[in-house]
Chain A
Amino acid sequence: MEEIDLLLLFDAVLGFTLVWLAWQTLSSLDLFRAVVLFIAFGLLMALAWVRLDAPDVALAEATIGAGLTGALLLSALAQLSARQKHESETSLFLRLTLGVLMFFLLIGLGYIVFSLPPQALGLSVEVAKNIELSAVANPVTAVLINYRSYDTLLELGVLLLALLAVWSLGSASTRKSAFVNPVLDLLTRILVPVFILVSGYLLWVGAFAPGGAFQAGAVLAAAGVLLFLNDWHLESKYTGFALRSVLVIGLVMFIAIGFGFVFLDRVFLEYPPELAGGFILLIEAAASLSIGIILAALFLGRDPSVKSDSCSDIDTGVHK
């Protein structure tokens, strides 16, 4: 009895800290402070996921939610000019009305959530019943790549679309090629091979323990971010077809395998149970490669094959 209460106390402290951090993130005057607090918020969310028995989500949140989003935010913040990092005053009336409205929203949502039954099996029974057929032991991986593989396929498409949209905006400004700190250089040289190994490990272990394609891809993306911070550039002979084929290989492999079995008298995205293990690994490997490269490219922000030493390319007619 004592032990359960202590854990609940921990949960209460964690929950309160999450809310407080979120509030401080939004209301802090300095944007840099806001971003740093947001990264801390993401890391504490990872703890909350662990408390809720969701280690795969915790891995994804720590790498993608806190790490990569934090890197993106800091990179964007550095490109904003310094003078406008402070928020102007907003009227008290507006804040009070909004506060009251949000309070009613909170009451309403609270009523909805708390009127749900305290115990509910959801789909866990069906997931567990068919786990043998799905050829992986980790239920989350089974759901991602097998039961709900269509969602994951579309998600790869969304990632690619986001990258295309970011590339189509042109480059805002190329990062100045400053002197790279030798400590950062050494750190990168040591860490990037470790990241690649860890990524492969996470991919392999995702079949029977927390891990999987998204977490592996995120670690690869972290390696990419580290390389970009050292002013590393992809050689121009690879930025054309080679880069683009690696970007799409996840989606293409998924669709190819999904359609391939249609010709053998199955439905789209139905794998035969004997071969499912191998094909799932193949799809996951291609997907994690794609996810890693896409996320790293999102951090870089511009198309590496486009040489831009002047301002953006889109509206040269109007701008110049």
Chain B
Amino acid sequence: MIIDIVTGVLLLVGALFFLAGTLGLLRFPDVYTRLHALTKADNVGLGLIVIALMLQADSWFVVGKLLLIWILILLAGSGVAHLVASTAQKRGLKPWKK
């Protein structure tokens, strides 16, 4: 019972992080700030959701698989964010100044 409540709370907070990241994607002025908001918020949000699912898992094998999923998305997300930012920089997109 307690586990279900904790799972629900963690899922909600994770979803809120995703919402925050998406809000940053829509409202921030240039590529670099958007990438920053998106990657950070999405990684934390995903981590919380993965922990919530781990609490509901049937076996340690499933826990391991969920952990692997989180690590892989962390790797891929950060790598892709770096690639987008460096390509934007090479194309000459200047960071937004006030």
- A residues whose Cβ falls under 8 Å from a Cβ of B: 181, 183-184, 186-187, 190-191, 194
* A183 B79 Cβ-Cβ under 8 A: yes
Q: Which of B72, B79, B83, B86 contacts A194 (CB 8 A)?
A: B72
* B82 A183 Cβ-Cβ under 8 A: yes
* A187 B72 Cβ-Cβ under 8 A: no
Residues of chain A contacted by B72 (CB below 8 angstroms): 191, 194
* B75 A191 Cβ-Cβ under 8 A: yes
* B83 A183 Cβ-Cβ under 8 A: yes
Closest-CB distance, A161 to chain B (whole angstroms): 33
Q: Which of B75, B82, B83, B86 contacts A190 (CB 8 A)?
A: B75
Contacts A183-B86, A186-B79, A191-B76 given; 13 further ones with Cβ under 8 A?
A181-B82, A181-B86, A183-B79, A183-B82, A183-B83, A184-B83, A187-B75, A187-B76, A187-B79, A190-B75, A191-B72, A191-B75, A194-B72
B interface size (C-beta, 8 A): 7
Closest-CB distance, B83 to chain A (whole angstroms): 6
Residues of chain B contacted by A187 (CB below 8 angstroms): 75-76, 79
- 18 CB contacts below 8 A, A to B, read A181-B82, A181-B83, A181-B86, A183-B79, A183-B82, A183-B83, A183-B86, A184-B79, A184-B83, A186-B79, A187-B75, A187-B76, A187-B79, A190-B75, A191-B72, A191-B75, A191-B76, A194-B72
Query: How distant is the Cα of A191 from the Cα of B76 in the complex, in angstroms?
Result: 9
Residues of chain B contacted by A191 (CB below 8 angstroms): 72, 75-76
Query: How distant is the Cα of A190 from the Cα of B71 in the complex, in angstroms?
Result: 12
Residues of chain B contacted by A186 (CB below 8 angstroms): 79
Query: How distant is the Cα of A203 from the Cα of B18 in the complex, in angstroms?
Result: 33
B86 to A, closest residue via Cβ:
A181
Closest-CB distance, A48 to chain B (whole angstroms): 19
Closest-CB distance, B18 to chain A (whole angstroms): 14
Residues of chain A contacted by B75 (CB below 8 angstroms): 187, 190-191
Closest 5 pairs between A and B when the two form their complex, measured CB to CB: A187-B79, A183-B82, A183-B79, A184-B83, A181-B83
Closest-CB distance, B71 to chain A (whole angstroms): 10
